[in-house]
Amino acid sequence: MHFKKTLIMLGSLVLISCAPFVLAADEEKNDRLARVVMISAHDGHEKALEEAITSYHHSMGDKEGAWRYTWYSILTGPDTGKYIARSGDHNWADFDTEDHDWNKAGDEKFRSEVQPHIADSVVMISQLDDKVGVWPEDWSEYQYFSLTDWHIKPGHGSQFIDGLKKIDSILKKDGGWPNYYAFSTAVSGGNGNTITIISPRKNFADMAPKKPTFYDVMGKAMGHDESRAFFAEWSKSYEAGQNRLLKRRNDLSDYGDKK
């Protein structure tokens, strides 16, 4: 979806700390940046917006240089019913505007057909952490994404990061941890000192607790007493924030070239 110019036309955009999403494993090394847009439809315009954005995507599918966005519906939390559009795997240089022969027509189509159904849009740039996390090589079966914000307390950044790296190392080394996870931060448009853990699930049944549990794995690796002491100390470095669930909308993410 071509947001490089048309986002400017959406009106005054308030930058928020909405966590970013979601995530394809990088095939090439890049800055792992994403533009994330939270979109609210006018009341009663949800279906019209979905039809308009699908038509717009299809018109942009063959345009060289156009960014592609994956769409998600927010299923839980205070933003329930809103949409997320995310274009990831970018470098900083990608955010510099480029002129294409399709820019004017693309902007006009978005402005005339899509924008009338949008009540509000807010934008952020997020970055995935390539040092911690385990992500599936093939995430096509994962339709749901649980996101939880952790707010790092002032002055406790080093303690938090060191603890996170220790946990990540144990989960990767020990094996047997049954879930995938990744971490993302807002580099523009979000709250400072906030990191978001993103965990994919195939379906609702996949959200049920699995064995071994997280604390089983950590206790086995560290010893249960040492593990309890570690988490008691590490928990002083952050506060748990909002949790929400997203569903990937394959129907809204289609650019007309899927087989």
Residue 174 confidence (pLDDT) = 67
Instruction: Render pLDDT for 203-256 as a digit per residue (tens, 0 to 9).
Output: 999 999 999 999 999 999 999 999 999 999 999 999 999 999 999 999 999 998
Question: What count of Cα atoms within 13 Å lies in the side-chain half-sphere of residue 151?
Answer: 12
Instruction: Render pLDDT for 8-22 as a digit per residue (tens, 0 to 9).
Output: 333 222 223 333 444
pTM of the complete model: 0.85
Residue 175 confidence (pLDDT) = 64
pLDDT < 70 regions, the chain: 1-28, 174-175, 258-259
Residue 139 confidence (pLDDT) = 83
Residue 3 confidence (pLDDT) = 39
Residue 98 confidence (pLDDT) = 82
Residue 173 confidence (pLDDT) = 87
Euclidean distance between CA atoms 36 and 74, whole angstroms: 13
Among 238, 107, 217, residue whose Cα is nearest residue 161: 238
253 is written with which tokens? 């993410």
Euclidean distance between CA atoms 74 and 64, whole angstroms: 30
Please give the residue range of the domain that contains residue 129: 1-259
Burial of 38 (0-12, 13-18, 19+ CB in 10 A): buried
43 is written with which tokens? 């009341």
Tell me which DSSP letter residue 170 carries: H
* Domain CATH number, residue 217: 3.30.70.100
Question: What count of Cα atoms within 13 Å lies in the side-chain half-sphere of residue 78?
Answer: 3
Number of domains in the chain: 1
